[in-house]
A and B are shown apart, each in its own frame.
Chain A
Amino acid sequence: MEHIRTTKVEQVKLLDRFSTSNKSLTGTLYLTATHLLFIDSHQKETWILHHHIASVEKLALTTSGCPLVIQCKNFRTVHFIVPRERDCHDIYNSLLQLSKQAKYEDLYAFSYNPKQNDSERLQGWQLIDLAEEYKRMGVPNSHWQLSDANRDYKICETYPRELYVPRIASKPIIVGSSKFRSKGRFPVLSYYHQDKEAAICRCSQPLSGFSARCLEDEHLLQAISKANPVNRYMYVMDTRPKLNAMANRAAGKGYENEDNYSNIRFQFVGIENIHVMRSSLQKLLEVNGTKGLSVNDFYSGLESSGWLRHIKAVMDAAIFLAKAITVENASVLVHCSDGWDRTSQVCSLGSLLLDSYYRTIKGFMVLIEKDWISFGHKFSERCGQLDGDPKEVSPVFTQFLECVWHLTE
C-alpha cells in the first residue's frame, strides 16, 4: 500500500468507445492494493487488476482535465480524464509502481483469499492428476515406462519429476542424452497414441555444433523409434526456421544430422521466435487500435504484422504432427531451441487434434497442465508477471489459444 499516494479521486470521466451516445461516464476512481476500480454514476463497476496493466500514459492537459490512458495486457484500453493534474500525476505514479512487481509474493495470487479452508485448497491443487492422465493414455506399458531419473530435478531443473521414456532406454542413456541437449531437456514422452502405438516426444535442440555427436542421444532416439512396433522411421520436427537453426550451430548447438541418427526423417517447420512474435503482436494491436481505418489500410496492416501468418505456421506444424501419427503411424520428436515455447505449442495443439478428450473442459485443463505448466513454459517471463526482462515477454500461450479458437470456428 505504500505505493499508493491517492486512494480515491472523484469526478473522473471514463471515455466509452462503445457508447452509442458517445458521452463519457463520470464517477469515482479507487486504487486498492490489487485493483483499480471505477464506479460510475449508474453504480456500474469497472475493475482492472494492476498486474494486467501493460502501460500507463499521461496525455497532454485539456480543458476537461488530465487524460490518463491505460493499456492492459488483455488488450483492453481504458481512457480516463482526471479533473486535477496533481491527482492524475499521483495515480499515474502509483500505477507505474503497482503494475510492476519485483517479487512473486507481491502478486495478487498470494493475497487472494476466497475463504477456503486448507483441505478445500488442497483439493483444488489435486484436481488435475497427471499420473492419471498418463494412465489414460495407456502408459506405462510394454514400450514405455516411468523414469525416476529426474525425481529430484537433478537431471533437468525445468522438466517435471515424472517423465516417461522408452522401456529399453537405460538411465545412463538418459543422463548422457541430457548432457547433449540444451538446458538438459532430453527427449521424453508428451503424448502416447494407443491405437497407433505411436508417440509424440519433446525435447530441446542438440548441442551438436557442427560435428559433435553423442551416442547416448542417438540411442535414445533409436529407443523411441523402436518403441513404435508399426513404423521403422520417426520424424524429428525442428520448429524453427532453417536459417535460425543453422545459426545456432555456430554457438555449439543446432539440429540432428540425419546421417548420425538411424531411421529418422528430419523436418523443419519454420515458426518464428519469441522476439518476432512479440513485435508481430505489437503491430497487430496498433492496426486494431487505429480508428477510421480504410479497408485497404486494415488489411495491409494486418498482412505486414504477420500475425495470421504465424498462427498458420503453428497450425500447419500441428497438422503435420497429427498426420504423421494417424496417416503414417510414425512417432514424432518435436523441438525448437529450448523446447518450451514452440515445442509446447506444437505438441499440445497436435494432441488436441488427435485426442477428443483434450477438447473437453477437463481434458483441456489437463493438456495445459501437462504440456505447458509441467514441461516448464516460462509463464512468468513470457507474460511479464514480474518486472523482468522485456525481451522475454512473448504471446506464445496466446497464440496457442488463438489456434484452438480457430479450430472451434
Chain B
Amino acid sequence: MEFAELIKTPRVDNVVLHRPFYPAVEGTLCLTGHHLILSSRQDNTEELWLLHSNIDAIDKRFVGSLGTIIIKCKDFRIIQLDIPGMEECLNIASSIEALSTLDSITLMYPFFYRPMFEVIEDGWHSFLPEQEFELFSSATSEWRLSYVNKEFAVCPSYPPIVTVPKSIDDETLRKVATFRHGGRFPILSYYHKKNGMVIMRSGQPLTGTNGRRCKEDEKLINATLRAGKRGYIIDTRSLNVAQQARAKGGGFEQEAHYPQWRRIHKSIERYHILQESLIKLVEACNDQTHNMDRWLSKLEASNWLTHIKEILTTACLAAQCIDREGASILIHGTEGTDSTLQVTSLAQIILEPRSRTIRGFEALIEREWLQAGHPFQQRCAQSAYCNTKQKWEAPVFLLFLDCVWQILRQFPCSFEFNENFLIMLFEHAYASQFGTFLGNNESERCKLKLQQKTMSLWSWVNQPSELSKFTNPLFEANNLVIWPSVAPQSLPLWEGIFLRWNRSSKYLDEAYEEMVNIIEYNKELQAKVNILRRQLAELETEDGMQESP
C-alpha cells in the first residue's frame, strides 16, 4: 500500500505554525507517510517534525478562505496551522486524519525508521529473561526458568520464558493456566534478596459461581511459601467487584482452599474511568480562565491524584508485606495486565535499589510491562484529546510513571535517572520511531518480527550522549528500602508532564543547568583536593624518610 494514496496534498507554502513558547513562524508544510514537517521560510530549518501517530485529534476551522487546523497531540501539546486556501486545508486535514488512524501496525514508522546513529548495543537483547534470572539465582535454588510457553500456546500474553518454583513441573503449569484468566498462571515477579520473600503475579482465578478449584494452582502458590509461613494475596479489586466477577466465570481465592493465604482487597480503578480522569485533568490544565477556585475544583473532580494515591498505597502495602512482615505475596486483579503490573513494578522501586538505576529501571519495564504483556497498543491508542469512542484506551502506564515521579520527588538522591527520563518514556509509549512499545505482548511482537525489522528504544537511550540528558546529578547510590508518603499533601500534580505546554520551564531549566554545573565543578574540585592530599602525604613521608638517620 502506498502512502501517497492517502496524501491528497503533499506540500503547501505560506503556512503559519503556532506552537507553545515560540512566536508564530511561516513556512512550507510537508506531509510524508509518517510525518508532518514544517520548514521555516527564513532559513529552511525544520520548525516542526511531528509523527502522525502522535496525533490524537484534529479540529478544522474556517475564516473566509483561511483554514486553520488545530492538532491535539498525545503528549498533550496543541499546535495550530494556518493554511491559505480552503481546498488545501481540507486536503491536509483529511490526509492527516487518514495517516494518523492507520489500522495495520506494520505501516507504522518504526518499520521504516533507519537510525542515524551507530548502534553499539542492541536494545532487543539487553534484558533477556535468562540474564535477569542470573541476577538472583545465585541466592536461591528454589526457582527455575520454564519454557512451557515457548510457542505462546499456554498463555498468549506471557513471554516465552517465565520463572516458576523449581518443584512445579510444566504439566502442572499447563493445568494452572486453564484456571487463571487469560491463561496467566502465577509466576515470579520479584525475589527480595534480603529475606528470600517473593512477589508473584497472575490473572484472577476462574472459580466461577460453582466455587471451582484447581489443586495444581494451590500447589503452585503454596510452593512459594516457607514451611509454616503464611502469604498474602493482594486483589486490586474491591471485595464487591471480586465477588461479582464470579458471575462472569472469574472470582477470587477462597479461604477454604487457600488456608495459608490471607486475602487483602485494595481497589484500584481501571479502564475508562482512568481515561476519563486523564481527559478531565488535561482539560483543567488547559483552562485559560486562571481562576483559583475553578482550578482546585477541576483538579479534584478529575480524581487523577486519587488514583495515584490508591496505586502508591497498594504498592507500599505490597512492599510492607515483603520487607516488614517477611511474607510472600501474590498480586492480581481481573486480567493481571494493568493494576497488577502497576503494583508489582512500584513495589520493586520501593524495595530494590537496582530498579532505581537507569539500566535497572529499563529492565523493570522490560520485565513487568513489556514482557508481562501490558497491552500497550490498545492502552496507548488514544490519549487525552481523543474524541472518538474509546474501547481499551487507558493511561495505566502514565499513572505508573507519575507514581515513580512522586517517589523520585520525595527521594531526589535515590534515583539514577531524572524526570526527563520518565517524560521520554511517556512520549515513546504513545508515539515513537522505535519498536519497543509496539504490540500488546511478546507473541505479537514475535509475529511482527519487531526485533528484526525495527530498532529498540534502549539502543538509542543507552548511548552515552543520550544518557547524559537523563541522568540525575543528585544521585547517590544507596541500599535503602524507601517508603514514600501517600498523604494528599505529599502528592502534587506532575507539572513536568501536565503543565509542560502551559507554562515555560525556561527558568527552571536554567536553574537545573546551574545545579548540574555546580555539582560537576564540585566533583572536579574534590578530585583536585584528593590529588593534592596524596601529594602532601607523599611529601610528608619523603620528609619523614630524610629526617630519620
Whether A296 lies near B303 (C-beta < 8 A) is yes
A309 to chain B: which residues have CB within 8 Å? 292-293
Whether the Cβ atoms of A295 and B297 lie closer than 8 Å is: no
Whether A300 contacts B292 in the complex (CB less than 8 A), given A293-B488, A294-B306, comes out as no
Is the C-beta of B487 less than 8 angstroms from some C-beta in chain A? yes
Q: Does chain B have a CB within 8 A of A312? A: yes
Contact partners of A297 in chain B: CB under 8 A: 488
CB-CB contacts of B293-309 with A at 8 A, as 1s and 0s? 10011011001011001
A308 CA to B291 CA, complexed, in Å? 10
Contact string, B301-319, partner A, CB cutoff 8 A, digits 1/0? 0010110010000000000
Residues in B with CB closer than 8 Å to A299 are: 296-297, 299-300, 305, 488
> Is B152 part of the binding interface, using a Cβ–Cβ cutoff of 8 Å?
no
**Separation of A137 and B296 alpha carbons in the complex (Å):** 40
Task: Report the bound CA distance from A294 to B308 in whole Å.
Answer: 12
Asked if B89 is at the interface (CB within 8 A of a chain A CB), the reply is no
Residues of A within 8 A of B297 (CB): 299-300, 303
B303 lies within 8 A of A293 (CB) = no
Say yes or no: A288-B489 contact (C-beta < 8 A), given A20-B483, A295-B306, A296-B306: yes
- Interface size band for B: 10 to 19
What is the CA–CA distance of A297 and B300 in the complex, to the nearest angstrom?
A: 9
Q: Which of A265-310 contact B (CB under 8 A)?
A: 288, 293-300, 302-303, 306, 308-309
Q: Closest chain A residue to B495 by CB distance? A: A409
B491 within 8 A of A: yes
Verify B293–A294 contact, CB threshold 8 A.
no
A296 to B301, CA, bound (A): 8
Q: How far is the CB of B510 from chain A (nearest CB, A)?
A: 13
Shortest distance between the CB of B292 and any CB in chain A (Å): 4
Pairwise interchain contact A295-B296, C-beta atoms closer than 8 A: no
With CB as the reference atom, state the residue of chain B lying closest to A288.
Answer: B489
B300–A303 CB distance below 8 A? yes
Chain A, interface SS category: helix
Inter-chain contact B292/A295, CB cutoff 8 Å? no
A294 and B292 contacting across the interface, CB-CB below 8 Å:
no
- Residue of B296, B300, B483, B489 touching A308 (CB-CB under 8 A): B296
Query: A residues within 8 A CB of B488?
Result: 293-295, 297-299
Q: How many whole Å from B105's CB to the nearest CB in chain A?
A: 37
In the assembled complex, how far is the CB of residue A100 from the closest CB belonging to chain B, in whole angstroms? 31
The one of B292, B306, B483 that contacts A312, using a Cβ cutoff of 8 Å: B292
Compute how far the CA of A319 lies from the CA of B366 in the bound complex, rounded to whole angstroms.
Answer: 48
Contact assessment for A308 and B487 in the assembled complex, using a CB-CB cutoff below 8 Å: no
- Docked CA distance A310–B488 (Å): 21
CB-CB < 8 A to A294: which residues of B? 306, 309, 488
With A294-B306, A295-B305, A296-B306: A302-B487 Cβ-Cβ less than 8 Å: no
Structural contact, B292 and A298, CB atoms closer than 8 A: no
Tell me the smallest distance from the CB of B487 to a CB of chain A, in Å.
7
Residues on B with beta carbons closer than 8 Å to the beta carbon of A293: 487-488
Across the interface, name the chain B residue whose C-beta is closest to A408: B511
Q: Which 4 A-B pairs have the closest CB atoms?
A: A298-B488, A299-B300, A303-B296, A309-B292
B-side interface residues toward A, CB under 8 Å?
292-293, 296-297, 299-300, 303, 305-306, 309, 483, 487-489, 491
List chain A positions with a Cβ less than 8 A from chain B.
20, 288, 293-300, 302-303, 306, 308-309, 312
> Can you give 22 A-B contacts (C-beta < 8 A)?
A20-B483, A288-B489, A293-B487, A293-B488, A294-B306, A294-B488, A295-B309, A295-B488, A296-B303, A296-B306, A297-B488, A298-B489, A299-B300, A299-B305, A300-B297, A300-B300, A303-B297, A306-B293, A308-B292, A309-B292, A309-B293, A312-B292
Beyond the given A295-B300, A308-B292, could you list 9 further A-B residue pairs with CB under 8 A, ordered by the A residue number? A295-B488, A296-B306, A298-B488, A298-B489, A299-B296, A299-B305, A300-B300, A302-B296, A306-B293
